[in-house]
Structure 1
Amino acid sequence: MPEQTQRLNFSLILLGNAVLGTPMPMLIILGGLAGAMLAPSSEFAILPVSVQMMAGMLTAAPMSVFMGKYGRKLGFLLGATIAALGGALGLYSLFYENFYTLCLAHASMGSALVCFGYFRFAAAEVVSESWRPKAISFTLGSGLVAALVGPEVFIYSKDFFSPIPFAGAYGAITVLSVIGCLPILALRLRETNNSGQLSGDEKTASVGEIVRRPAVFTAILCAAISFGVMVLLMAPTPLAMVGCGFTDVQAGDVIRWHVIAMFAPSFFTGSLISRFGSSKIISCGLLMLCLSSAIAIAGIELTNFYLSLILLGLGWNFGFIGATNMLNENLSAGERSVVQGANDSLIALVSTLASFGSGILISSFSWTAVAVTVLPLVLIAFAGLIFLRPRVRSVA
């Protein structure tokens, strides 16, 4: 692929990821608050977020296979279409006060978000091999636009259909999804060559063998736990803050800085990985997740929420990008569509369980109970990384 085409494709991927990723922080806020408004009881307040995660779990692998067969471009356009329909369904749900269609709306957007997660792999595929760690980092870094713009869009759109709260924000998601199709339509990607993929006869055995490689297993474990811990602590944050007497605007600002922390370091995380290696960067990320939990346990002041969620975002960035790079550099071109799908399915499964778990913990126990649960999960990832480190080095 000519260098000029590589640059064009990479720029369009960054732009598409930035626009289509903007609803993500909005959904963090909307899922809990709109859910609490329509839910039949408080125990179901976070159900829309949980259903969103579950839909991502169920569609991650099929979406990866779809992209492997029909190409990234059609896959991203499909995801944008699903997101637009989800926003419209969310708007309908608030107008007619239907909790069940609200859950269906979030299921649609969960499928779309897991689709947009493949932008990081698409970016690595359109650049030279030496630039892949930075390409993954910059692609996730483009999510900084989502961190800055998403909460602002939420604030200015949520009362657009006043007196129906939050309805305008769902309408804004539909508009953003349509706009996000434009850079995707301009992509100039090669047609997918199925001959490089695993055959149907050997797919199941091959995936099992691939996942048993120490480097691949470690990457999937650390990515899943980094993502799951982030969801566990992030999903109930707006509800916890409102329950502690803070406003939804303050909760939105905490989420804004959390998402900034998730994506802003991405502009140099790739360089750090190139210099120090994936394992050390993942370890730093896991340590920050532990600190985030400790600060959340320490108190429920506004400062605690800010510091805890910022550290949560930083820990996710180092852990998830490090694990993504470790996985990508240990897969051949023919293995990627299947194993990446399995990887993202597991991440979505862990995130779904974390979301359901956080809802149970916050409604039945407390915010502190949510934070305490983080620690043993991070220790599992640390144990896997330490135990497999010598074998990971030998494979990588």
Structure 2
Amino acid sequence: MSALLFGRNSSFIGLLSANTILGSAMPMLIILGGLAGLMLAPTTKLATLPASLQTLAGLFAAAPFSLLMGRLGRKTGFFVGGGLAIIGALIGTWALISASFILLCLAHLALGAALACFQYFRFAAAEVVRPEWQPVAISLMLTSGLVAAFVGPQVFVMAKDALAPIPLAGAYASIGILSLIGLVPLAFVTIPAIKLRPRGTTSRRFAALSVLKQRPVRTAVGIGAISQGIMVFLMIPTPLAMIGCGFSEAIAGDVIRWHVVAMFAPSFFTGFLIKRFGTKRIATTGLMLLIMAALIAAGGLSSANFYGSLILLGVGWNFGFIGATTMLANVVSEDEKPVAQGLNDTIIALVSTLCAFAAGAIVAGFGWQVLSFVAVAILVLTLCSVMFEKRQTVRQ
């Protein structure tokens, strides 16, 4: 019944197709950021600057994109995001042709903003289905990440030498082509406009901001931010930690590959679990799985520890992030969505950025196991906070 329902929903199919194609650029940019930076940076210390600026652009673009979609509609916002991806890809291609590091940094700023825009596909999916099917729609939308994880690197391998003798320029050009193709399915999408209450802009913004003081909203934002932050906190330094323990780059890469599969594969059934057990229960289960992942990581430095930890980390992120996204979609009203969702994704991006920088410093200074125990402490505090909020709500 559910497959038939979604198969007949042309808007959902259009959103899923667009998100899958546009999202394929993300794993390519993970590879390209460092390699192209190393080629063009005036010093090796600046090699990761394009990737860092990409993350920073996502942080600052999240809220403006949400407000833009609230005013002009989701569809217009996605077209703007796709346009930025095309512009960024063209600038990146020209940066390599002209050997300009500054242009490369500008390219990743535009591409980072585009990736922030594409994060709103999960909220759009919830708006084109009936309320009872929202968790399933959000969950299935994230399955596109699993496809992108395999398609993106393959496109990179096929396109990186397409503009030889200039290395990697073809990969940036392919991102532009993918982005252009990804905008086509949006033509078949109809997303209901956000119905704003008939009152002044200023009063509406203050009303939307005030909803963030409510416990359910605070809980949803907190779980989403911690789930994403801890995933980044443990994932980014994993290859460095494994190579430091004597493992080969191939084994480290295989651990990351299975981690990515574990992140997105559960999306095929997470939404149905939320329908059966409720959003908060699944989100809390996600936090518990993340705690288990961190404990396994702290328990030893064998390949089994790394594989087990990163696989559980992926599943825990999936439950926590999808649960939190569904929770937020359920507790905010139509006119509160632009500000609430924008602030939610800004906080998630901020926490992820801080965790990415902190992880490198902790691993370099104290080691992998200390990093894991720090993750355990953060997660336990978060879980206790969620339980406390739940008790307060029940008492009231």
TM-score by length of 1: 0.86
The separation in 2 between residues aligned to 1:364 and 1:161, in whole angstroms, is: 42
Instruction: Give the counterpart of 2:119 among 117, 127, 133.
Output: 117
**Any residues of structure 2 matched to 1:60-79 within 5 Å, and which?**
60-79=62-81
**Any residues of structure 2 matched to 1:308-347 within 5 Å, and which?**
308-347=309-348
In structure 2, what is the equivalent of residue 217 of structure 1? 218
The separation in 2 between residues aligned to 1:136 and 1:201, in whole angstroms, is: 31
Of 323-332 and 386-395, more deviation after overlay is shown by 386-395
Q: CA offsets per residue over residues 5-38 of structure 1, 9 Å max, x none?
A: 9701011111111111112222333334544555
Of 343-352 and 91-100, more deviation after overlay is shown by 91-100
Of 248-257 and 25-34, more deviation after overlay is shown by 248-257
Distance 1:360 1:283, change over 3 A: same
Displacement of 1:231 in angstroms is 2.0
**Contact 1:33-1:238 within 8 A present in 2 as well:** no
In structure 2, what is the equivalent of residue 377 of structure 1? 378
**Contact 1:24-1:113 within 8 A present in 2 as well:** yes
Please state if 1:256 is matched with 2:251.
no
In structure 2, what is the equivalent of residue 266 of structure 1? 267
**Contact 1:33-1:239 within 8 A present in 2 as well:** no
Displacement of 1:179 in angstroms is 1.1
The separation in 2 between residues aligned to 1:55 and 1:49, in whole angstroms, is: 10
**Contact 1:87-1:105 within 8 A present in 2 as well:** yes
For residue 214 of structure 2, what is the amino acid of its counterpart? R
Of 52-61 and 319-328, more deviation after overlay is shown by 52-61
Query: Which one scores higher on RCO, CA 8 angstroms, separation ≥ 6?
Result: 1
Of 219-228 and 37-46, more deviation after overlay is shown by 37-46
The separation in 1 between residues aligned to 2:339 and 2:176, in whole angstroms, is: 30
Q: Flag structure 2 segments of 5+ consecutive residues without an equivalent.
A: none
The separation in 1 between residues aligned to 2:377 and 2:19, in whole angstroms, is: 33
The separation in 1 between residues aligned to 2:151 and 2:305, in whole angstroms, is: 24
The separation in 2 between residues aligned to 1:197 and 1:338, in whole angstroms, is: 16
Displacement of 1:366 in angstroms is 4.5
In structure 1, what is the equivalent of residue 292 of structure 2? 291
Distance 1:377 1:147, change over 3 A: same
For residue 233 of structure 2, what is the amino acid of its counterpart? L
Displacement of 1:43 in angstroms is 5.6
**Contact 2:209-2:339 within 8 A present in 1 as well:** no
Displacement of 1:374 in angstroms is 2.3
**Contact 1:19-1:180 within 8 A present in 2 as well:** yes
The separation in 2 between residues aligned to 1:77 and 1:84, in whole angstroms, is: 10
Displacement of 1:168 in angstroms is 3.7
Q: CA offsets per residue over residues 305-328 of structure 1, 9 Å max, x none?
A: 443332222111101111111111
**Contact 1:6-1:127 within 8 A present in 2 as well:** no
The separation in 2 between residues aligned to 1:131 and 1:116, in whole angstroms, is: 21
Percent identity, aligned pairs only, is 48
Between structure 1 and structure 2, the one with the greater Rg is 2
Q: CA offsets per residue over residues 123-152 of structure 1, 9 Å max, x none?
A: 111111111111111111232211222232
**Contact 1:46-1:236 within 8 A present in 2 as well:** no
Q: SS of 1:195's equivalent?
A: coil
In structure 1, what is the equivalent of residue 228 of structure 2? 227
The separation in 2 between residues aligned to 1:31 and 1:239, in whole angstroms, is: 17
Displacement of 1:367 in angstroms is 4.5
The separation in 2 between residues aligned to 1:219 and 1:6, in whole angstroms, is: 30
The separation in 2 between residues aligned to 1:276 and 1:323, in whole angstroms, is: 14
Displacement of 1:364 in angstroms is 5.2
Displacement of 1:303 in angstroms is 4.9
In structure 1, what is the equivalent of residue 53 of structure 2? 51
Displacement of 1:230 in angstroms is 1.6
Distance 1:369 1:142, change over 3 A: same
Distance 1:241 1:88, change over 3 A: farther
Displacement of 1:369 in angstroms is 5.0
**Contact 1:83-1:177 within 8 A present in 2 as well:** yes
In structure 1, what is the equivalent of residue 147 of structure 2? 145
Instruction: Give the counterpart of 1:172 among 171, 174, 187.
Output: 174
Distance 1:220 1:392, change over 3 A: farther
Please state if 1:87 is matched with 2:82.
no
Q: SS of 1:143's equivalent?
A: helix
For residue 234 of structure 2, what is the amino acid of its counterpart? L
The separation in 2 between residues aligned to 1:165 and 1:135, in whole angstroms, is: 40
In structure 1, what is the equivalent of residue 279 of structure 2? 278
**Contact 2:224-2:324 within 8 A present in 1 as well:** yes
For residue 208 of structure 2, what is the amino acid of its counterpart? V
In structure 2, what is the equivalent of residue 9 of structure 1? 11
**Contact 1:53-1:355 within 8 A present in 2 as well:** no
Displacement of 1:284 in angstroms is 1.8
For residue 16 of structure 1, what is the amino acid of its counterpart? A
**Any residues of structure 2 matched to 1:233-248 within 5 Å, and which?**
233-238=234-239
For residue 104 of structure 2, what is the amino acid of its counterpart? L
Q: SS of 1:75's equivalent?
A: helix
Q: CA offsets per residue over residues 60-80 of structure 1, 9 Å max, x none?
A: 111011111111111111111
Moved over 6 A (4+): 3-6, 242-249
**Contact 1:5-1:188 within 8 A present in 2 as well:** no
**Contact 2:78-2:118 within 8 A present in 1 as well:** yes
For residue 17 of structure 2, what is the amino acid of its counterpart? L
Q: Flag structure 1 segments of 5+ consecutive residues without an equivalent.
A: none
